[in-house]
Structure 1
C-alpha cells in the first residue's frame, strides 16, 4: 500500500522515452552548447532560440554571413537568435563581402537569368545577389547568392523586414 502514491512515477519509469522526453522538453540547448558540438560548423543543422524568435522586435535584427565557415546567423542586437548553414558563391562567382540591406523580399521569386525558382528571395544588391532557399552543399557553389535550407530561409524571411542589415564577412572566426 505504501507504493500506491508512487505508482504514476513508476509507470513513467517503465514507459520508454517518457521521462527522457519530459526532461529534454525542460532543457533547450543554448547557442554555446550548439557551437560546442562535435562537427560544428560543418553541420547541416540549424539552431534557434524559439522563445526569442517569437518575442523579438524586427527593428533590432541583423544578419551576418560567414563565408569561411559557410554559416549564417540572425542576431537581435548582439544576441544570436538563429544559426544556420549556407552555400555562398564559388571562385568564379564570389559572394561579395560587405554591409548590405534587404532591398526587396519576394516569396515566389523566379530568376529569368538562371531559369530557377528562388523561394523567399531577399535581395541585397541591384545586380541580383540575395539570400534564398536552395541546395546547401556546405562549400561555396552558388553563383554569388547565399543559399539557405528551406527551413532556415522561411524562418528568416518571415522575421526580417526591408532595410534589415546584412553583413557578409570573409573571416571564418565567429563570435560565439
Structure 2
C-alpha cells in the first residue's frame, strides 16, 4: 500500500491544534478574579516549584524556606550573592541571577532601621557576640537590663555585660550592621541587623566569602 499523503491545507491547522492542547496541559490555569487572600484560591503551580512557593497564601509572611535542591550544591563563594527585601522581610541566596534559597529575615525597627545599600561582606565570624547590645547583670548575677546598649547603659560595680549572640556573623558596615542568626519575627524587630533562621544561616554563611555582595533594598 502506498504511504498516505496529507493535504497541507488540513495538516497545518491540525498541528496548531496539537500545539495548543500541549500548552494547555503544561501551563497553569489562573482565575484572575480570585486573589491569594480570597476564599476559593487554589495555587495553580506545581508543588515544590519556586512559583508554587511564592503563590502560597502565606507568602511572604511564611517562616518556610524554599531551596533549589539541584542548584544549591553548585552554589559557592565564586558565584553567590545575597539579596534582602526589606518590604517582604525575606532574603534570597542567589547564584548569578537565579534564586537558590528564599528564607525569612527580620530587619531593624523604625528607630534603628536597616540601611538599604549595596554592600560587600567585610567580616565573617561563626561565634560572634555583640559589643553594642546585650544583657547586664549585677554583682549577684541578677539580670538588671535585658536590652542593654553599651553606649548608654552602665554596668553596676561587680556586675557584667554579656553581648547578644550573633552566630554566623557577616558584617556589612563598620558601625555594627550585619547578617546573622537571630530571633526572626515576621516584621522588623532588630537593632538594624538582618536576622536569619538558625537552620538557614550556616548554609548562607558557607556559600559566601569576605567580599561577597549583599544587596539590601
Which range, TM-score by smaller chain? 0.7 to 0.9
Q: Aligned partners of 1:61, 1:86: CA distance in 2, in Å?
A: 18
Structure richer in helix, relative to its length: 1
Which residue, 87, 110, 113 being the options, matches 1:91? 110
1:157 aligns with 2:205: yes
- Aligned residue number for residue 19 of structure 2: none
- Aligned residue number for residue 121 of structure 2: 102
Q: Aligned partners of 2:168, 2:75: CA distance in 1, in Å?
A: 20
1:116-131 alignment to 2 at 5 Å?
116-131=164-179
Which residue, 68, 80, 91 being the options, matches 1:72? 91
**Is 2:66–2:103's contact at 8 Å kept on the other side of the alignment?**
yes
1:125-140 alignment to 2 at 5 Å?
125-140=173-188
What is the CA distance between 1:151 and its match in structure 2? 1.1
1:81 aligns with 2:100: yes
Q: Aligned partners of 1:162, 1:53: CA distance in 2, in Å?
A: 19
Which residue, 142, 147, 150 being the options, matches 2:190? 142
- Which 4+ runs in 1 deviate beyond 4 A? none
Q: Aligned partners of 1:162, 1:96: CA distance in 2, in Å?
A: 20
1:168 aligns with 2:216: yes
Which residue, 38, 43, 55 being the options, matches 2:62? 43
What is the CA distance between 1:126 and its match in structure 2? 0.7
Q: Which has the larger radius of gyration?
A: 2
Q: Aligned partners of 1:51, 1:151: CA distance in 2, in Å?
A: 19
TM-score by length of 2: 0.64
Which residue, 28, 50, 53 being the options, matches 1:34? 53
Deviations 1:38-61 (A, max 9, x none): 110000001111221112242121
Aligned residue-pair number: 143
Q: Aligned partners of 1:167, 1:54: CA distance in 2, in Å?
A: 22
